[in-house]
Structure 1
Amino acid sequence: MTAFIRPSLILRMDLDERLFNDECVSDIKRSYSYVAPSLVQAHKPVDGQRPENVMRFMIKLHRAYWDSSDEAAQQLWEGVMPKWLHNMFSKVSNTITAANNVRAENGQPAFSYHWLELEFGDDALVAVKTGSDSSFPADAVDMVERVRDLMNAGALGQDIACVRIPSRASYEAQLAAAEQAQAEAAATAEQDETAGQTAEQPQVAAPADTAELDVAEPADAAEPAAAPADAVADQPAEPAFAMPELPAFDVDYGTWGIEYADGSVREFDAAAGAFS
């Protein structure tokens, strides 16, 4: 019976408003048209947060499937959802890669999605941090199943607005550490390069009496030649806004953020199965 049941999917992209334009919307809808219908909307940057784009899976299945205490719902979940989610994650991840390859061929930067949100009807919203290349975690399906088990057991509390993996606080701390490590590595590389250049410079003896030297400066050395007007016109225009490049690092998904309807957040240690 469950072999013939499939959820429906709508993709909703929520973009930083500085990236939102008609061309961007058309590109997104064209890229994902074979996967699912796509909606594109914009949001204003949030104070104190980095610009981010969010891809949401709006999952529709007109049968009960979330409540594990309901035998029929549990059978439907086991028979349908894990395999379907795995297939959709793979298909959408491949589409993100293909779309960014096309952008690279056209000399455009990759279009990043910073969070993957999974909306299971009115039952749950799960937000998972994507990789630096917008890829989905290999064990994302396992994360979703763990969330479902814990929510059904009442271990995460009531009135949950979103389960965020990892929590924003955990991710920001990880990102800050990665940025510091990147800055230190860059400083070390610069010092090594400077030291190498100094060691390679030949020793030149100074003239006996520099006061007697009169070196004439070339007439055309004072002012650099201006670029032709046509050459300036041919320069590619700078984009109005470009997403900042963040360091690539392996995200630690161990600390979850349980965000409640009243705006409060509690951190949950997934390995210990308890709040921090």
Structure 2
Amino acid sequence: MTAFIRPSLILRMDLDERLFNDECVSDIKRSYSYVAPSLVQAHKPVGGQRPENVMRFMIKLHRAYWDKSDEAAQQLWKGVMPKWLHNMFSKVSNTITAANNVRAENDQPAFPYHWLELEFGDNALIAVKTGSDSSFPADGVGMVERVRDLMNAGALGQDIACVRIPSRASYEAQLAAAEQLAAAEQAQAEGTAAAEQGESAGQKAEQAESASVTAEQAVDAADAAAEAQAEPADVAEPAFAMPELPAFDVDYGTWGIEYVDGSVREFDASAGTFS
């Protein structure tokens, strides 16, 4: 029976408005058309936060499936959802990679998705941080199964708006540590480069003294500069570019349980307790 039941899926991309334009919308809808219908919308940048793009799975299954105490619902979940979720995570991750490969071939930066949101109707909303390459975590299905188990047991409380994996506070701390490490590595590399340059400073000084510009070259340079000032070229305003973040392995161990009243509690997933 369950072999013939499949959820329906709509993908909703919520983008930083500085990346939102007709070409972007067309590219997204074209790239994901074979996976599921796609909706694309924009949000204003939030003060104090980095720009972020969110991909949401709007999952529809017109039968009960979330309540583990309902035997029919439990059988439907076990027979359908884990395998379907695994296939969708794999298919969408591959599509993200393929789309970014095309962008690279056209000398365009990769288009990142920072969070994957899973909307299980009115049952639950789960937000999972993607990897540095926008890939979904390998244990994504296991995370969903754990959330369902805990919510059914009442272990996460009531009136939950979103289960965020990891919590925003945990992720920001991880990102700050990765940025500090990247800065330290860059400083070390620059120090090494400066030392190597110092060794050849004498040779460069001799070359600079022996080099000269002829009078004719100097006149040509002056004329070119005067022409450039007289007829300034139109400079196109650069397109907004997402800031590059250091690549690191995300620790998913601390969850953020976000409630409808706006409060957030940190949950230790390994211990199964609130911090």
Task: Identify the residue that residue 194 of structure 1 maps to in structure 2.
Answer: 194
Task: Identify the residue that residue 271 of structure 2 maps to in structure 1.
Answer: 272
What is the CA-CA distance between 1:188 and the residue it aligns to? 0.5
Q: How do residues 80-159 of structure 1 correspond to structure 2 at under 5 angstroms?
A: 80-159=80-159
Point out where structure 2 has 5 or more consecutive residues left out of the alignment: none
Point out where structure 1 has 5 or more consecutive residues left out of the alignment: 207-212
SS at match of 2:126: strand
C-alpha separation between the residues in 2 aligned to 1:93 and 1:5? 23
* 1:67 has 2:82 as partner: no
What is the CA-CA distance between 1:24 and the residue it aligns to? 0.6
Give the letter for the 1:7 counterpart. Answer: P
C-alpha separation between the residues in 2 aligned to 1:270 and 1:136? 18
CA RMSD of aligned residues (A): 2.5
Deviations 1:136-188 (A, max 9, x none): 00000000000000000000000000000000000000001101110110000
C-alpha separation between the residues in 2 aligned to 1:138 and 1:270? 17
Give the letter for the 1:256 counterpart. Answer: W
C-alpha separation between the residues in 1 aligned to 2:57 and 2:273? 28
Task: Identify the residue that residue 252 of structure 2 maps to in structure 1.
Answer: 253
| Structure 1 residues 129 and 205, CA gap change in structure 2 (3 angstroms) | closer
| Structure 1 residues 205 and 176, CA gap change in structure 2 (3 angstroms) | closer
Give the letter for the 2:155 counterpart. Answer: A
What is the CA-CA distance between 1:221 and the residue it aligns to? 4.6
Q: Which moved more, 1:22-31 or 1:195-204?
A: 195-204
Give the letter for the 2:88 counterpart. Answer: M
Give the letter for the 1:51 counterpart. Answer: P
| Structure 1 residues 48 and 90, CA gap change in structure 2 (3 angstroms) | same
Deviations 1:204-242 (A, max 9, x none): 999xxxxxx9x987544595744998xx9799x564211
What is the CA-CA distance between 1:200 and the residue it aligns to? 3.4
C-alpha separation between the residues in 1 aligned to 2:90 and 2:178? 27
C-alpha separation between the residues in 1 aligned to 2:6 and 2:205? 82
C-alpha separation between the residues in 2 aligned to 1:217 and 1:153? 81
TM-score by length of 2: 0.90
C-alpha separation between the residues in 2 aligned to 1:154 and 1:167? 19
Give the letter for the 1:139 counterpart. Answer: D
Deviations 1:240-264 (A, max 9, x none): 2111110000000000000000000
C-alpha separation between the residues in 1 aligned to 2:44 and 2:205? 62
Q: Which runs of 4+ in 1 moved over 3 A?
A: 200-206, 215-229, 232-235
Give the letter for the 1:31 counterpart. Answer: S
* 1:23 has 2:29 as partner: no
Q: Percent identity?
A: 85
What is the CA-CA distance between 1:197 and the residue it aligns to? 1.7
C-alpha separation between the residues in 1 aligned to 2:218 and 2:131? 50
SS at match of 1:242: coil
| Structure 1 residues 145 and 227, CA gap change in structure 2 (3 angstroms) | farther
SS at match of 2:270: coil
Query: Paired residues, what number?
Result: 266
Deviations 1:12-56 (A, max 9, x none): 000001111111101100000000000000001111110000000
C-alpha separation between the residues in 2 aligned to 1:227 and 1:148? 70
Structure having the higher helix fraction is: 2
